[in-house]
Amino acid sequence: MASLTERALSGLTPTASDAPAYLEGLNPPQKEAVLTTEGPVLMLAGAGTGKTRALTTRLAHLLISGRANPWDLLAVTFTNKAAREMRERVGVLVGDQVEGMRWMGTFHSVAALILRRHAELVGLTPAFTIIDTDDQIRLCKQVISAAGVDEKRWPGRGLAGVLDAWKNRGLRPEEVPKDDAFQFADGRAIDLYTAYQERLRTFNAADFGDLLVHNLTIFRQETDILNAFRRRFRYIMVDEYQDTNIAQYLWLRLLGTDDEGRSGGNICVVGDDDQSIYGWRGAEVENILRFEKDFQGAKVIRLEQNYRSTGAILSAATHIISHNKDRLGKTLWTDADHGAAVTLRGVWDAPEEARVICDEIEAAQVKGRSLSDIAILVRASFQMRAFEERLNTAGLPYKVVGGPRFYEREETRDALAYLRLVRNPDDDLSFSRIINKPRRGFGDKTLTQLSQVARQMGASLSAAGAALLETNELKGKSRSALKEFLDNIARWRSAAADLAPGRLVETVLEESGYIAFWKASKTAQAQGKLENLKELVQAAEEFETLEGYLDHVSLVAERSGDTGEGQVWLMTLHAAKGLEFPVVFLPGWEEDIFPSGRAINDNGQVGLEEERRLAYVGVTRARERCHISFAANRQVYGRWQSSLPSRFIDELPEKEIEVLSEPGLYGVKAAELPAYSRFADIAADPERSYRTPGWQRAQRARGASTAPALEGAARLVASSTPGSSPFALGDRVFHQKFGYGEVTALEGNKVDVAFEKAGQKKVIATFLQSADAAG
């Protein structure tokens, strides 16, 4: 009779009586994934199906069975935390052998090890420095300045974003398509990329993107080196394969083939196409979808038994994701109880949504539920502000994951620094924070001189600046920039007496150039920062005075601490991936917010399917209870508009949903409002529909159609998009900064105006008033 090891090596599954301990507790598909060691393997692992255990057990099996030595294994994942956890789990099973697994880590850490061995082939030495993001942006600024490019229009942060995007695609300067170059610096981006790489070589440095790009260059040009690594890595394992970008995919393709380039190597990738949600940062779901084509003879093993959620929650998630066309397909199931239905609640507006959710959290706490069992998962970070304020009002401690709290974010702190300086010209902390945000041409020398004068005078930086302007000590650009800055602060201070806080915030952010700075940024975070700034304007509109608003912000920040009784988790859906909670609230399920209107506009069907995968991720974070909500009205760009429920609501299975919409919402009873399709019926019945301009537009756009199909929903979204202007062509208008002018063109809420003194400008309609009203 064959020994246990021989049978394991031959791919036979051991019987229950003689299976090694490390296989105990694995379900049949997990065991199959562990024991299928030869050839390409795709472990298609749904949410909560124990994929980490299967992956680490597979690594242990290769070592314990003697099939591989520790140094023969390449195991890569995306984060240092995931790599540490993988190492710890394997160490529990194999003991000291894990110390020999030197090729276990993130893509970048493994690529760095390879590059240090062959750095001279790309013009570096083995002692090269890996620069961080701040150094990368600083170097980009130097390159832009040396090329004579206008940095106000094309900032260093934007160039860094463009270069990252190209490196995520594995492109060297000479490989970038000419059409791509026109997205930055009027077609000069490739030249800037070339100059940037030359400076890096001069400094003997590489950025994170270079690690993989340089590896690709070496592998393609030096086949003997590539083949040596192919022979070294007898087994390759990759976690979260659905999140790989093109450069990572190419790197794995090269290593995962044999010496003749045949795609039959021993590569095992673990992932879930239904959880690919990072397209905005370069991830390509297509990488996992085409695995069977890329690696001929690949075996696909589906892990579908879920150990996390109830049957009702899994049914809801499965129904949503089944509407995606580009997927490999699987159906999650569980042995656990079917559990409580997923709740769906419609409320009148966004503040009411925050109040209702916080009331439910308080009620759960009274019943003995720990706050740390509860998570609020939002689609966009700007939604957090309403929940943070409500949680503070209710005295419920909370923890923001994946970023700072709303009022601690870079962009909100910058904006608040402007407002504090408007309120108090002697606030040196605020002055120092924003004097060069956005960049105004102040060098370190000028700022040092300003600080010295302030100390000598015993005065604030603002006063010292005013004093310097009365002398000839400052020259050129620094002098004019300081004068403009101080004049702006003084003008905004005068305007604060007459402008409402929301309008003042809007004016300061626009006229300071801060909004334009983030609009010009090409980074993935820029749009989120702009949305947070819009939310800041909306928050200020709730107060009568600037002083009242700033005092409120200070008190909100002061109250945010842990009471020792646990904290509610507050985060975006992207930050929640990989986490799980007994109770999950999913607010803001409305068209344009979720799915994101921007994602659909930018990427069409591909963007919509990624948004739907994000909905799937959100629902599957819940173990016991899942609560979905939407608001009938929401304030956007300072104006109230009707919100249409998300199309994802209509994709929920009606038998698994308990509707909790308030009686009377939209003029109907809650029982009549189970899903998005019922809103179509309401819109078609003028006796039952409520009367707002947005809803009237939605009715006209729908026409005679009653089906909530994607095309119909798209028309409804388009019809309710904010931004119609109150002005007409030829109207005379007044702008606080640019003066009087005449409207020459209209585009949504943007207006082209020929100003009498300032010339042609494009401005936001809310910044204008009729010339008659202005006097």
By annotation, the residues acting in catalysis are 51-52, 239-240, 275, 621
The three-class DSSP label of residue 589 is coil
Q: Which amino acid, one-letter code, is at 505?
A: V
H or E segment and range at residue 483: helix 476-495
How many C-alpha atoms does 2 have within 13 Å on its Cβ side? 12
To the question of whether residue 125 is assigned a binding role by annotation, the answer is: no
Closest CA relative to residue 593, chosen from 639, 522, 652, 647: 647
The pair of three-digit structure tokens given for residue 706, joined into one six-digit string: 């009653």
Burial 618-632 (b: 16+ CB within 10 A, else e): bbbbbbbbbbbbbbb
Distance separating alpha carbons of residues 407 and 103, to the nearest angstrom: 41
Distance separating alpha carbons of residues 214 and 228, to the nearest angstrom: 17
To the question of whether residue 575 is assigned a binding role by annotation, the answer is: no
Residue 599 DSSP one-character state: H
Closest CA relative to residue 387, chosen from 254, 618, 606, 585: 585
The three-class DSSP label of residue 5 is helix
To the question of whether residue 516 is assigned a binding role by annotation, the answer is: no
Secondary structure percentages of the chain, helix, strand, coil, to 5: 55, 15, 35
Checking DSSP bridges between strand 568-572 and strand 398-400, what pairing results, if any? parallel
Handedness of CA 643, 571, 338, 303 (dihedral sign): positive
Q: Which amino acid, one-letter code, is at 433?
A: R
Rg over CA atoms, the chain: 29
To the question of whether residue 47 is assigned a binding role by annotation, the answer is: yes
Closest CA relative to residue 312, chosen from 623, 579, 673, 674: 623
To the question of whether residue 336 is assigned a binding role by annotation, the answer is: no
Q: How far is CA 445 from CA 136, 274, 427, 449, 474, in A?
A: 23, 54, 21, 6, 11
Order of strands across the sheet that contains 73-77? 104-106, 73-77, 235-238, 267-271, 41-45, 299-303
The three-class DSSP label of residue 531 is helix
Distance separating alpha carbons of residues 455 and 478, to the nearest angstrom: 20
The three-class DSSP label of residue 126 is coil
To the question of whether residue 49 is assigned a binding role by annotation, the answer is: yes
The pair of three-digit structure tokens given for residue 420, joined into one six-digit string: 């504090």
Q: 73 and 235 in contact (C-beta within 8 Å)?
A: yes
Distance separating alpha carbons of residues 368 and 381, to the nearest angstrom: 29
To the question of whether residue 386 is assigned a binding role by annotation, the answer is: no
Q: Which residues contact 417 (CB under 8 A, 6 or more apart)?
A: 429, 430, 433, 434
| Helices and strands (H and E) in the chain: how many | 32, 21
Spell out where 257-339 has E strands.
267-271, 299-303
Provide DSSP, 719-748.
Answer: HT-S---S--TT-EEEETTTEEEEEEEEET
Q: Which amino acid, one-letter code, is at 360?
A: E
φ, ψ for residue 15 (rounded to 5)? -75, 165
CA 316 to the chain's CA centroid: 24
Q: What angle do CA 498, 499, 502 make, to 5 degrees?
A: 160
To the question of whether residue 46 is assigned a binding role by annotation, the answer is: yes
Residues forming the annotated binding site? 45-52
Residues forming the annotated binding site for ATP? 45-52
